[in-house]
Amino acid sequence: MNASLDILPLSSWINTEGKPLVIAGPCSAETEEQMLETATQIKEEGFAHVIRAGIWKPRTRPGSFEGMGEAALPWLQAVKKETGMPVAVEVANPQHIELALKYGVDILWIGARTTVNPFNVQELADALKGIDVPVLVKNPVNPDLQLWIGALERLNQAGVKKLGAIHRGFSNAQETKFRNSPMWNIAIELKTLLPELPVIGDPSHMAGKRAYLYELAQRALDLNYDGLIIESHRDPDKAWSDASQQLTPAALGQMLHDLHVRKESYGSDYQSQLEVVRGKIDHLDRELLETLAARMSLVEKLAEYKRDNNVAAYQVDRFREVLETRAGWGKSLNLYPNLVDELFKLVHMESIRKQTEVMNQVSA
């Protein structure tokens, strides 16, 4: 899939003094006092370049807090005046864009639920024609690289040249420890296809819990992301939305201090391009093992069900089904048939071993 964008480098529209861009602030703007206190504390920590806040909050079900809307935009004006820092908000329709720009918002981002719909993205692109404002595009909810690239292309074709992507992870039926599966391989492919595109990591929405933020932020920096967007609240446990994934400004400052920013991979003083590729392989291998571990966890549940219903661990029809379906999946992904066949024979036999182990432990 060929792709190209006519965009300006990140350094031309925001000065980070050569450091990764950091966008920080509460999930939602709740009150003017909350915004000012949070933003002031973030500024005092000295790591962030932009203050973010959710003004319009798309929620899965009605009745949840859906943001303060236009009433919160003057609060962001006050934040800009008090801190001197630019502010960023999410927009989901042309009216949001009009209001955000009316109140002097500096950076717009498009959320995952909007990116997934090309009709919505085109409406936003049309509304942004002739407007010189940076726009960041979150990956779509579902793991579809073409949708993500398509959204970026629509905006670029409308004349948006200050453009970037936000990698916030993907919804996944598979059980993982994260709120949204990172699926780093998709972001890596995006960076490979569009090397000029700034990519910002969103560990908050990947993690869903504070405990995983450092791990995910560090992995994003290890992959040479251009920055991070992280949620921070003066009192996270009392936040009106996404309380469990927000950090206090002080905790955020400490985490950012502890993160390691890797050097660029070119030149005699840096690691070779070969080492960069190997680093990406290492990350994918880690994700592969995490996926395998999640699969084996489900196998254990399957073994318990079989044990309780007196069903044998090995079923030949299921084994044949696994080999046949995975062969088809592998073919669609341009993988060698022998690789897929041998891999799933090994995985299935390990599954049988695990099931037998669980069933025998219980019966012993």
- The 10s digit of each residue's pLDDT in 226-280 is 999 999 999 999 989 888 999 999 999 999 999 988 665 555 444 567 777 888 8
Our measurement of the distance from residue 247's CA atom to the centroid of its chain's CA atoms, rounded to an integer in Å, reads: 17
| Residue 124: other Cβ atoms inside 10 A | 25
What does the pLDDT look like over 300-334, one tens digit per residue? 888 888 888 887 777 778 878 888 888 888 888 88
More confident residue, 290 or 233: 233
pTM greater than the 0.85 cutoff: no
In the chain, what percentage of residues exceed pLDDT 70? 92
Is residue 215 predicted with pLDDT exceeding 60? yes
Q: What is the mean pLDDT of residues 62-85?
A: 89
- At residue 364, the pLDDT reads 44
Q: What is the mean pLDDT of residues 142-168?
A: 97
What does the pLDDT look like over 170-207, one tens digit per residue? 987 666 789 999 999 899 999 999 999 999 999 999 99
SS (H, E, C) the chain: CCCCCCCCCHHHCCCCCCCCEEEEECCECCCHHHHHHHHHHHHHHCCCCEEECECCCCCCCCCCCCCCHHHHHHHHHHHHHHHCCCEEEECCCHHHHHHHHHCCCCEEEECHHHHCCHHHHHHHHHHCCCCCCCEEEECCCCCCHHHHHHHHHHHHHCCCCCEEEEECCECCCCCCCCCCECCHHHHHHHHHHCCCCCEEECHHHHHCCHHHHHHHHHHHHHCCCCEEEEEECCCHHHCCCCHHHCECHHHHHHHHHHCCCCCCCCCCCCCCHHHHHHHHHHHHHHHHHHHHHHHHHHHHHHHHHHHHCCCCCCCHHHHHHHHHHHHHHHHHCCCCHHHHHHHHHHHHHHHHHHHHHHHHHHHC
Tell me which residue of 192, 364, 357 sits closest to 280, measured CA to CA: 192
Tell me which residue of 214, 248, 212 sits closest to 231, measured CA to CA: 248
Is residue 89 predicted with pLDDT exceeding 90? yes
Angle at 227 between CA 76 and CA 239, to 5 degrees: 45
CA dist list (Å): 172 to 24, 147, 280, 333:
26, 16, 22, 19
- At residue 270, the pLDDT reads 46
Contacts of 308 (CB under 8 A, 6+ apart): none
- At residue 34, the pLDDT reads 96
Is 183 in contact with 219 (CB distance < 8 Å)? no
Contacts of 284 (CB under 8 A, 6+ apart): 184, 185, 188
In the chain, what percentage of residues exceed pLDDT 90? 61
